[in-house]
Structure 1
Amino acid sequence: MDVEEETARILARLRDQADPERAASEKRYLKSDYTHLGVPVPALRKVALASVRRPPERGELLALVHSLWTVTDDGRPLHETRMAAVEILAKRSSLLEPGDLDVAERLVRESVSWAYVDHLAEKVVGSLVVRYPSLGGTLDVWVGDPYMWIRRTALLALLPGVRSGAPDLDRLSRFGDALIGEKEFFIRKALGWVLRELSKKDPAWVADWVGARMDAVSGVTIREAVRRLPEDDAARLMAAYRAR
């Protein structure tokens, strides 16, 4: 793969589908300081993933991700090429090795929005942790990181295990206890999101965990957590939350 040539191809295809009106709306919605072209996500994904339809070498993958991530337009990062980098890395995350967790961490630390972080957290970091369980120790450190998006990543990286039916309940409980008092909306939401996904497979565990922490759980977290619980459990927990 000629990384420079492939980056130029992707950028040209994205510019061909630019929609200034959508770009302005998207910037407002994401509260973004980046340059936006206004390319819809399905179209962006199609353009990006054409580059890795056939699996590249690991070095080529990482080089292309770096090249796309660092594209600028008018002196600002370009939203669509950053999104393309994330889509490509997620699609071919099976090529990554344990040391490549550092790459994902760098991208998260350079992210300023859930638009990049959430896919990195679940599809890249989470995928690596499932394949290499010893990397869970890094999540234990991240859950106490000063940077909010790293803390959110530590939580959302548990989703692949939850979805596959092999949840790391010990880590989820510990992370939940560490973060349940957070004032940051995106952390409260992430905790509720993970609990909601777990409730699809183990509603009793979620109901018990939330019920035992009624004095600390936030409204954002509990509303997400009970969304897929049996109706009686959800009503009981919400009544207890309102009455506390």
Structure 2
Amino acid sequence: MKEGDTASGSPVDDLRAALRALADPVRADKQRAYLHSELNHLGVRIPDLRRRVTETRRRMGARAGPDVLALAQDLWSAEEDPTKPVYDYRRAAVEMLVQYAGVLDAADLKDVESLLRQCHTWALVDPLAVHCVGIVARHDPAAGAVLDRWITDPDFWLRRSALLALLPAIRAGRPDTAQLMRYADALVGEREFFLRKALGWVLREMSTRDPQLVVDWLGRYGSRVAPLTRKEALRRLTGGGTARA
């Protein structure tokens, strides 16, 4: 038993029980329909889920990366019905990885990648990409090579993850501009909605730091830029002093 575990059960077992106690069947049905999900849903509110994961993290204390990954995988794979995983357990696994992102490094992204390939929804992909992978990328330069591989992966959720993982550095005022432009160039012709939206989202964030960079990129590609991407990218550039794309 690890320090911080108690006789009441493993951290994962106790967290699952806490989430089941918060189940809301009405919310679960609405959530399943909204996400077009084929998973089982408990209907736990995200703020409540985060609080329960935070309580679990405090109980467990400091953990090494491999231990965190094992706990997250255990939670991710937990099932009530053997034919269907539980969305709320998977969302809690994502939150655990987010809260422990500081102890992970680029080598751990192999395991995170495996989870990303199983997500099949922005509701799991986005927090994992932005708040876990993006944090790892900020403190471990070796993560750049992983993202470079993801940006050309056949799975569009991996391509979306590589792009969204740039957000923490952009928001911190330390973007890798060359990397961002390479990824934008690679995705400019994408037809997938979730990639067009994500590209516009990341460019919009960049526009608050370097508006001319974004305007110049939009101008360079002209009509090749999807209207959705352009609209999102320009959303914060409505002032009078900015050059037009």
**What TM-score do the two structures reach when normalised by structure 2?**
0.91
Q: Distance in 2 between matches of 1:60 and 1:161?
A: 26
Q: Distance in 1 between matches of 2:93 and 2:66?
A: 14
Residue of structure 2 in register with 1:59 after alignment: 66
Deviations along 1:27-76, one digit per CA (max 9) or x if unpaired, are 00000000000011000111112111232343332221011000112221
**By how many angstroms is 1:11 displaced?**
1.1
**By how many angstroms is 1:142 displaced?**
1.1
1:199 equivalent to 2:207? Answer yes
**By how many angstroms is 1:235 displaced?**
9.2
1:50 equivalent to 2:58? Answer no
Indicate conservation of the 8 Å contact 1:226/1:234, yes or no.
no
Q: Distance in 1 between matches of 2:150 and 2:64?
A: 29
The one-letter amino acid of 1:134's match is A
Indicate conservation of the 8 Å contact 2:106/2:146, yes or no.
no
**By how many angstroms is 1:208 displaced?**
1.4
Q: Distance in 1 between matches of 2:139 and 2:157?
A: 22
1:13 equivalent to 2:21? Answer no
Aligned residues: 237
Identity %, equivalent residues: 44
1:163 equivalent to 2:171? Answer yes
The one-letter amino acid of 1:135's match is A
1:106 to 107, 114, 130: 114
- The unaligned stretches of length 5 or more in structure 1 are 238-244
**By how many angstroms is 1:210 displaced?**
1.2
Q: Distance in 2 between matches of 1:97 and 1:173?
A: 24
Residue of structure 1 in register with 2:136 after alignment: 128
- Which deviates more, 64-73 or 47-56? 47-56
- 1:142 to 1:165, Cα distance in 2 relative to 1, 3 A: same
Residue of structure 1 in register with 2:27 after alignment: 22
**By how many angstroms is 1:202 displaced?**
1.3
- The unaligned stretches of length 5 or more in structure 2 are none
Q: 3-state DSSP class of the match of 2:222?
A: coil
Q: Distance in 2 between matches of 1:233 and 1:139?
A: 34
Residue of structure 2 in register with 1:173 after alignment: 181
**What TM-score do the two structures reach when normalised by structure 1?**
0.92
Q: Distance in 2 between matches of 1:130 and 1:141?
A: 17
1:152 to 160, 164, 175: 160
The one-letter amino acid of 1:50's match is E
- 1:73 to 1:235, Cα distance in 2 relative to 1, 3 A: farther
1:86 to 86, 94, 111: 94
